[in-house]
C-alpha cells in the first residue's frame, strides 16, 4: 500500500498559480491548479517539470526553488501558510526560480600544501595562494599557467588588483613572511605552461604576519591587515616616486643574473584595532572596512585615517565582505558557526539584521555575489561551503567537495564557486544559477 500516495490523496488541496521571471522555455501555463498542501519544494519541482515536459517532450529535469510573497518555501506548503498566517482559501501565487545548486563538480586542482587564499574576480583565471609560499594562476580546473615565486612563508591572502583591459594583469599576495608582494603576468599566455613569475615590488612595513590584502577599485592603491593590529596603505605603481620606492638588487642563488626589485613603504597606517586584523575590504573609493580578532568591525575614512563605525561582535572575526543591497551590507564570520550580516544604514547597527547558523564550526570566508542583492556564500572549518539567500534562513545549497577544513572561497564567472582548503585542493563547483 502506497502510504505517501494516500497521504497526498488525503491532504487538503490549495489553489496555486505558478509564475516566473525565467525565459519562455521555463514558463508554464499561468492558469490556477489545485495541488496538495503537503507538497514540499521537491514535490513542487516535480509539478513544474511535468508541466514543462507536457509542452516539450525533450525537456530534461531541472531543480527549482519556490517563493511565496518573496520568501523561500523550505517546508511543506501547509506548514509555510500556517507559519506566515496566509489563508489556504486564497489562490497562491508561487514564483519559481532555478535552484541555486552546482550542477557540476570539476576535477580538483592539486597543490603541494594547504590552499589558503583564492580570488575568482577575473573571469579569465583563478588566483590561489598556498602554504608552500607559492601563488598560482589557473585558467581552468587542473590547468596552471603561472607560478608566483618569491615569498618565504605561507601565503594568507591573494587579490587581483587589475585584470581589465589588455593582457597584463596585476595581483597582490600577503604572507606570513611579513610582506605583501605585487606581480604582473600575461593572462593570455599558453595554457599549462607553469611559467614562473617573480614579484616586481615588495611591500615591507608590517611587523608580523600579513593576514589580508584588498585593492582600491581603481587599482592605484591596496591595503593590508596583519597580526601587528595595523592596516597599511600602499601604492601599486612601478614608477620611482620619492618616499615610496627604492630599487634593490639582490643576487640569486648560484650567482645567476642579478634581478632588480622595487621595494615599497606604506603611504599611511590605520591604527585602532588591538588584535590581528584578519580581513580588509576596500570596495569603496574612500572607505576601508576591516574585521579583527579584537571582536570588532570598523569602517575607516581613508583621507583622515579615522574609524567612523565600530561594530562590536563578541567573537573573533576571520572574514568580512561588503555587498548586497546598495553594496552596503556587511557580512562577517569567525570563531563560531554563525554568519552574521549588518546593515550600517540602520540605527542601532551593532545588532545583525541576519544570522545564518547551519555551519557546525568556525567560518573562514564569506563573499557576496556581485550581481545579486540576496546571495552570498560562506566556507567553514566544518568542510562545507554554503550558498545563502537573505530570503530564507536555510542554505540554498551545501557543497561538500572538500575532505577537510575549507580555508577560502569565492564566486567565479557569476555561476561557479571556487574554494580551497586543508586537503590541498582547489575545487570548482559550476553551473550555479543565481537570479
Q: Are 271 and 298 a contacting pair, CB within 8 Å?
A: no
**pLDDT of residue 245 exceeding 60:** no
**pLDDT of residue 212 exceeding 50:** yes
What pLDDT does 255 receive?
39
294 confidence band (pLDDT: 50, 70, 90): very high
Angle among Cα 378, 382, 387 to the nearest 5 degrees reads 25
What pLDDT does 120 receive?
98
Residue located via cell numbers 564569506? 366
What pLDDT does 247 receive?
44
296 confidence band (pLDDT: 50, 70, 90): very high
289 confidence band (pLDDT: 50, 70, 90): very high
What pLDDT does 187 receive?
86
More confident residue, 189 or 95: 95
What pLDDT does 162 receive?
82
What pLDDT does 284 receive?
87
Task: Classify residue 332 as exposed, middle or buried by CB count within 10 Å of its CB (0-12, 13-18, 19+).
Answer: buried
**pLDDT of residue 4 exceeding 60:** no
- Mean per-residue pLDDT for 25-54? 95
192 confidence band (pLDDT: 50, 70, 90): low
Distance between CA 178 and CA 206 in Å, rounded? 6
Q: Are 233 and 223 a contacting pair, CB within 8 Å?
A: yes
| pTM score above 0.85 | yes
How many percent of the chain have pLDDT more than 90?
Answer: 83
> Among 164-173, 258-267, 398-407, which stretch is predicted with the lowest mean pLDDT?
258-267
102 confidence band (pLDDT: 50, 70, 90): very high
> Among 32-36, 242-246, 267-271, which stretch is predicted with the lowest mean pLDDT?
242-246
More confident residue, 217 or 367: 367
How many percent of the chain have pLDDT more than 70?
Answer: 91
- Mean per-residue pLDDT for 334-344? 96
249 confidence band (pLDDT: 50, 70, 90): very low
Give which of 7, 72, 10, 82 is closest to 44, Cα–Cα: 72
**pLDDT of residue 202 exceeding 80:** yes
Q: Work out the mean pLDDT of the chain and round it to a whole number.
A: 91
**pLDDT of residue 210 exceeding 60:** yes
Amino acid at each position: 500500500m502506497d502510504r505517501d500516495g494516500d497521504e497526498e490523496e488525503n491532504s487538503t488541496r490549495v489553489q496555486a498559480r505558478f509564475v516566473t521571471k525565467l525565459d519562455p522555455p521555463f514558463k508554464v501555463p499561468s492558469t490556477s491548479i489545485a495541488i496538495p498542501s503537503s507538497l514540499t519544494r521537491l514535490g513542487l519541482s516535480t509539478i513544474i517539470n511535468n508541466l514543462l515536459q507536457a509542452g516539450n517532450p525533450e525537456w530534461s529535469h531541472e531543480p527549482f526553488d519556490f517563493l511565496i510573497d518573496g520568501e523561500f518555501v523550505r517546508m511543506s506548503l501547509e506548514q509555510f501558510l500556517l507559519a506566515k498566517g496566509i489563508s489556504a482559501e486564497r489562490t497562491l501565487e508561487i514564483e519559481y526560480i532555478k535552484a541555486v545548486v552546482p550542477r557540476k563538480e570539476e576535477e580538483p586542482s592539486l597543490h603541494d600544501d594547504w590552499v589558503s587564499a583564492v580570488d575568482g574576480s577575473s573571469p579569465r583565471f583563478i588566483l590561489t595562494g598556498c602554504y608552500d609560499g607559492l601563488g598560482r594562476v589557473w585558467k581552468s580546473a587542473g590547468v596552471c599557467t603561472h607560478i608566483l615565486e618569491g615569498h618565504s612563508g605561507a601565503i594568507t591572502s591573494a587579490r587581483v588588483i587589475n585584470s581589465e583591459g589588455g593582457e597584463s594583469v596585476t595581483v597582490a599576495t600577503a604572507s606570513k613572511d611579513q610582506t605583501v608582494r605585487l606581480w604582473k603576468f600575461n593572462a593570455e599566455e599558453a595554457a599549462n605552461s607553469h611559467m614562473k613569475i617573480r614579484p616586481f615590488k615588495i611591500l615591507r612595513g608590517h611587523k608580523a604576519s600579513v593576514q589580508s590584502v584588498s585593492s582600491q577599485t581603481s587599482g592605484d592603491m591596496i591595503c593590508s591587515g596583519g597580526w601587528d593590529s595595523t592596516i597599511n596603505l600602499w601604492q601599486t605603481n612601478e614608477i620611482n616616486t620619492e618616499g615610496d620606492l627604492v630599487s634593490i638588487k639582490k643576487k640569486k642563488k648560484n650567482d645567476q643574473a642579478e634581478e632588480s626589485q622595487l621595494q615599497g613603504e606604506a603611504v599611511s597606517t590605520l591604527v585602532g584595532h588591538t588584535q590581528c586584523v584578519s580581513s580588509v575590504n576596500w570596495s569603496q573609493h574612500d572607505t576601508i572596512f576591516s574585521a579583527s580578532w579584537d571582536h570588532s568591525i570598523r569602517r575607516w575614512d581613508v583621507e583622515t585615517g579615522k574609524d567612523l563605525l565600530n561594530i562590536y561582535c563578541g567573537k573573533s572575526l576571520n572574514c568580512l565582505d561588503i555587498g548586497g543591497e546598495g553594496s552596503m551590507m556587511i557580512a562577517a564570520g569567525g570563531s563560531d558557526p554563525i554568519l552574521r550580516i549588518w546593515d550600517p544604514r540602520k540605527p542601532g547597527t551593532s545588532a545583525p539584521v541576519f544570522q545564518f547558523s547551519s555551519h557546525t564550526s568556525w567560518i573562514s570566508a564569506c563573499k557576496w555575489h556581485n550581481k545579486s542583492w540576496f546571495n552570498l556564500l560562506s566556507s567553514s572549518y566544518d568542510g562545507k561551503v554554503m550558498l545563502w539567500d537573505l530570503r530564507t534562513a536555510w542554505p540554498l545549497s551545501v557543497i561538500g567537495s572538500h575532505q577537510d577544513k575549507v580555508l577560502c572561497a569565492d564566486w567565479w564567472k557569476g555561476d561557479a564557486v571556487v574554494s580551497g582548503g586543508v586537503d590541498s585542493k582547489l575545487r570548482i563547483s559550476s553551473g550555479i544559477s543565481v537570479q
